Structure 1
């Protein structure tokens, strides 16, 4: 990545879109273990801030799952040379002791990455897709889908944030 390419991305590309996501957020967190009604719903509060001169975003958040406190941290980025979104995610509930690394080449501006995790019993890996959309300046939607080893994809998490004033 050259300095010029990064500056163009900061002005009008992926890094500009990332900068628009920075801020204080609060919204609704929903969790599904199977299709149908969510298993739980609670408030989620998060902070997203630009780090390393606008190269990445750091997302820190807190929510609850059935009354138990959950916190998480994710780093989001766009790898200019690879033309791919990337993330590293850890959470006190979902990732255990794994750092979930996810990547995804995207033909559009939507953040769309895919990672994998083990079932804890030595079986085949499952997939985990994270999608982030910002339909307007004050709304951020993060959806995480579970993908079975057979390729069936279903919603597992949805966070709908509103920007705090």
Structure 2
């Protein structure tokens, strides 16, 4: 499935809650939730979908974005992700696909010295037409994907 088939159902403003998991921290700091807003728009004459979101941690406001598009006429989806807390200013480049049911999955890697590169996965699903969920997973170089972010939204 191509992203353009999802534009009408994804575009618009969304409100909800974002939960961040910092698995390296002790309880109760390991899991933190905040209010979150998401705006999904088409950009570049409908060739791309832009996901722009806000969230907070310890009283500090943060924001992030995901820009996604299809590669020509293929089913392959590409993306670039940036977040004011998760990154130092470098974009994470992602590749993935859109399932027939409409779930978007994108995967990328980032340097994590002294270890080999780690992975990062972003999935976007719509449980119902009025709900949107964005999940992010960190994938240690030698391990199983771990939940990093879960953002659950409803239409604003």
Q: How many corresponding residue pairs?
A: 152
**Root mean square deviation, CA, Å:** 2.1
Aligned pair partner of 1:92 in 84, 95, 98: 84
Q: Which runs of 4+ in 1 moved over 4 A?
A: 35-38
* Residue correspondence of structure 1 range 12-27 to structure 2 within 5 A: 13-27=2-16
Correspondence for 1:43: 35
* Residue correspondence of structure 1 range 99-118 to structure 2 within 5 A: 99-108=91-100, 109-118=102-111
The answer on whether the counterparts of 2:75 and 2:97 sit within 8 Å (CA) in structure 1 is: yes
Q: Can you list the C-alpha shifts for 1:112-153, whole angstroms capped at 9, x where unaligned?
A: 01011112x343111000000012221100000110001311
Of Structure 1 and Structure 2, which has the larger fraction of its residues in strand? 2
Of Structure 1 and Structure 2, which has the larger fraction of its residues in helix? 1
Q: Can you list the C-alpha shifts for 1:3-40, whole angstroms capped at 9, x where unaligned?
A: xxxxxx7xxx5312133111011100001122987520
Correspondence for 2:118: 126
Correspondence for 1:135: 127
Measured after TM superposition, the shift of residue 85 of structure 1 is 1.8
Measured after TM superposition, the shift of residue 84 of structure 1 is 1.1
Measured after TM superposition, the shift of residue 53 of structure 1 is 2.1
The answer on whether the counterparts of 2:97 and 2:104 sit within 8 Å (CA) in structure 1 is: no
Specify the SS of the correspondent of 2:4.
helix
* Structure 2 stretches lacking a partner, 5+ long: none
Correspondence for 2:45: 53
Specify the SS of the correspondent of 1:41.
strand
* Structure 1 stretches lacking a partner, 5+ long: 1-8
What TM-score do the two structures reach when normalised by structure 2? 0.87
Correspondence for 2:18: 29
Structure-2 change in CA distance of 1:82 and 1:158 (3 Å): same
What TM-score do the two structures reach when normalised by structure 1? 0.83
